[in-house]
Amino acid sequence: MERGDWVDLIIAAAVAALLTYLEISRKFRFPEAIPHRARLFTWWYGFVAGNAGLAALLYPLAIQAEWIHKMPPVLRGAAVGVGYLSIVRQKFMTAPKEKSDDGAPVGIEYVYEAVKREVHEQINRLAIAARSAAVRQKIVSATLTDLLFEGRLRVQQDQLATAAQKAETLAWLATVAGDATLAENDKKSAVATYVLFGDR
């Protein structure tokens, strides 16, 4: 490869890494204090680095295609980085299992999805433990009145929410507070989860 190709290879790896990071970041929310942070980062950044490395390995093969080779520098690397994530998700890369075969299908898409599923499950276990601990601590340290105030404050300060979304969330908070079928701790848990993570 020429020297310029090495720059594009790095760009391809960086694009694949960034998109993988964003996908995980959008899916999982954590409290500031995270137990087992090293284990979490090992799964998270290990998957990011793995995708970056595979995108880099794909680059020398991808530039053999004339239409990619003719692309402007930098854009060529970005296209390979995005293309890598698209390719590994394609069903045509996996051979379906035969009806008489009890084994799993074989192929890139199957292996990628299996690895991704395992990584997400491991991260989710850590997320559940960390989020549950944070909610428990919040329930113990604050009254329902305090939590409702924090919830309304969060709604008012949310610059990404529309007026309709804010009104809907405020109505939800009022419904939780006034629900006679919910125990006090259940109300506090629901509101604390929203206050800490924005989930309801």
The domain limits of the chain are 3-125, 143-197
Give the model's confidence band at 70: pLDDT under 50 very low, under 70 low, under 90 confident, else very high.
confident
pLDDT band at 67 (very low <50, low <70, confident <90, very high): confident
Could you tell me how many helices (H) and strands (E) the chain has, helices first? 8, 2
The backbone torsions φ and ψ at residue 160, rounded to the nearest 5 degrees and listed phi first, read -90, -20
Q: Rounded to a whole number, what is the distance in angstroms from the first to the last CA of the chain?
A: 51
Overall average pLDDT of the 82-110 stretch: 68
pTM of the model: 0.78
Look at residue 143 and give its three-state secondary structure.
coil
Which SS3 state, helix, strand or coil, does residue 106 take?
A: strand
Gap between the Cα atoms of 19 and 43, Å rounded:
16
Q: Residue 98: its pLDDT value, please?
A: 56
- Return d(Cα 170, Cα 119) in angstroms, integer: 35
Which residues have CB under 8 Å from 131's CB, separation 6+? 29, 30, 31, 193, 196, 197
Which residue type sits at 115?
V
Per-residue pLDDT of 38-64, as tens digits, reads 999 999 999 999 999 999 999 998 888
